[in-house]
Structure 1
Amino acid sequence: MRNTAKITTAVLATGALTLGLTACGADDSDSGSDGPLKVAATATPQGEILAYVKDNLAAKEDLELEVKEFTEYVTPNTAVQEGELDANYFQHKPYLDDFNKKKGTDIVPVPGATVHLEPLGVYSKNVKDLADLKKGATIAVPNDTTNEARALQLLAAKGVIKLKEGVGFAATPKDITDNPKDLKFSELEAPQLPRALSDVDAAVINGNYAIEAKLSPAKDAIAAEDAKDNPYGNFLAVKKGDEGDPRVKKLAKLLTSPEVKKFIEDKYDGAVIPAF
């Protein structure tokens, strides 16, 4: 891959539930429908939203909730698949579909539990507008399949490049059919993108990592996704067959409650948007 600085997610996930993982909650007792519901999440905003639910709403539904925060996108799914955790909240449907296909897992969205959208944004320390990018400029993009395609679709929607018709969620730089500025693409692990801003001309950054880096998609991005009809809403997910777990149903209800909607709107000021 051209201009690629890549740390494989396999390395990040090697420690399973010990490395690359922080936890907030009780001990790691065995999962079960009569015990606490153990949920994996990335820290921002998913972990913060779950912490709000745990601290303010869970008691009224008699729900005991444990939240375990991860710094990457692989272990939250493998831990649920293997039964180490009960559910996760960190991903959108295109990512999950691709993950299941490649890993042979059967993680599924919980019906009616799509919670929020993090608009993908383009950020730069060098230019104020995509039109100002110089010929040969380098743009960093996420290197996982669906988020890379999402980044390229955003750039195409803004007229910077053109993509082969019909590539959809599988687009890669090889699918670019028109690149008038001869832009180069640096494919990086999504968490690295904010740190790479000083080394590239622009970067397309996932909303959660932008927020962690004190970047606002609403205020700092030089271009951002349109929220309307956006397929990238983040949802609660479980291993297939666990959708009917009473604890999962309780959490799904709370995550799509008016209280959570107001929390998201008040806390994130447009950087995270309720999807319900």
Structure 2
Amino acid sequence: MKKRILLALGLASLLALAGCGKKATDTKTSSESASQSVSESSSESAVASKELKTITVGASPAPHAEILEAAKPVLKEEGYDLKIVEYNDYIQPNVALESGELDANYFQHYPYLENFNKEHGTKLDSAGAIHYEPFGIYAGKTKSLDALKDGAKVSVPNDATNEARALLLLEANGLLKLKEGVGINATKQDIVENPKNLDIEEIEAAQVARTLSDVDIAVVNGNYAIQAGLKVSDALAIEDAKSIAATTYANIIAVRDGDQKSDATLALIKALESDTVKKFIETKYNGAVVPMF
């Protein structure tokens, strides 16, 4: 009897030890699995970070580069890291795009791009319209359009497409009349009526705002007006949202011909047309920049 009791106690002890051993083993295995899972997750995260592809986009400082900055987080979710290269002229961004230094640029409208292609033999095209910037007539020495005197000085951009846009705005406000049908191809030579004998001075687009202290009025590109600290609410006149200028001169994403539908280009357009970017544009620029989507 005594032997049976001892045997039973011995078996119970062995079972208890076996149970403890199993629990310890299970705990260890569970811990190792969790550790492995965390390690794999971290590894996958690191790989995902390394796999971000870079898109290099040239842009004017304002508003284009600012809008691109707002699109960065959205584009990152699509697997792309956005590198922004700022330019202060209208020539080099297209030269750099054609040469392959850039994947895209964002600073111009289609008529300007089309004219650039003709003049330089480049093969660049639009991948999509993002926004338009209303041209404005801003006061220099003369503070209202009604107060303009005979022979008043007016500065306008000197490149073909932007000069036409400026002339159309002057015509829309009764300051001159253009040859019928010239539209976006208008030049100074197409002025058929100039009742105030306005002295129209052609200036490089980036410099027009700086001439305000020397002229009576100036017709300034939207982006350069922003850079100069001019407010669209202070303009003596601006382009109408339904005007030919607003629909024709929307600012585009330009790419090399053949890249319009590349994965990178489509991701860039998607990010720029997101609700995040639209809200940014509407909040920051108060009508000086208008989204096209």
Distance 1:262 1:35 in 2: 26
Q: 1:205 is matched with which residue: 220, 223, 245?
A: 220
- Structure 1 consecutive aligned stretches of length 4 or more whose deviation exceeds 6 Å: none
Instruction: Determine if the alignment matches structure 1 residue 228 to structure 2 residue 245.
Output: no
Q: Residue 129 of structure 1 contacts residue 223 of structure 1 at CA under 8 Å; is this kept in 2? A: no
Distance 2:261 2:129 in 1: 16
Q: Specify which structure has the higher proportion of helix.
A: 2
Deviation of the 1:126 alpha carbon: 2.8
Aligned partner of 2:125 in structure 1 is 108
Q: Residue 70 of structure 2 contacts residue 276 of structure 2 at CA under 8 Å; is this kept in 1? A: no
Distance 2:57 2:119 in 1: 23
Aligned partner of 1:82 in structure 2 is 99
Task: State the one-letter code of the partner of 2:56.
Answer: K
Distance 1:125 1:143 in 2: 18
Aligned partner of 2:59 in structure 1 is 41
Distance 1:132 1:174 in 2: 25
Note the residue ranges of structure 1 that are not aligned, 5 or more in a row.
1-33
**Identity within the alignment, %:** 51
Task: State the one-letter code of the partner of 2:239.
Answer: E
Aligned partner of 1:66 in structure 2 is 83
Deviation of the 1:244 alpha carbon: 2.4
Aligned partner of 1:5 in structure 2 is none
Deviates most, 34-43 or 130-139: 34-43
- SS of residue in 1 equivalent to 2:146: helix
Distance 1:241 1:58 in 2: 21
Aligned partner of 1:167 in structure 2 is 182
Q: Residue 156 of structure 2 contacts residue 203 of structure 2 at CA under 8 Å; is this kept in 1? A: yes
Q: Structure 1, residues 55-76: CA drift from partner, whole Å, max 9, x if none?
A: x312211111110000000111
Distance 2:204 2:241 in 1: 24
Pairs aligned (count): 239
Distance 1:161 1:101 in 2: 29
1:88-127 mapped onto 2 (5 Å cutoff): 88-110=105-127, 113-127=128-142
1:16-31 mapped onto 2 (5 Å cutoff): none
Deviation of the 1:102 alpha carbon: 1.3
Task: State the one-letter code of the partner of 2:242.
Answer: K
RMSD: 1.2
Q: 1:266 is matched with which residue: 269, 283, 289?
A: 283
Bigger CA radius of gyration: 2
Instruction: Determine if the alignment matches structure 1 residue 184 to structure 2 residue 202.
Output: no
- SS of residue in 2 equivalent to 1:36: strand
Distance 1:176 1:106 in 2: 33
Distance 1:124 1:234 in 2: 25
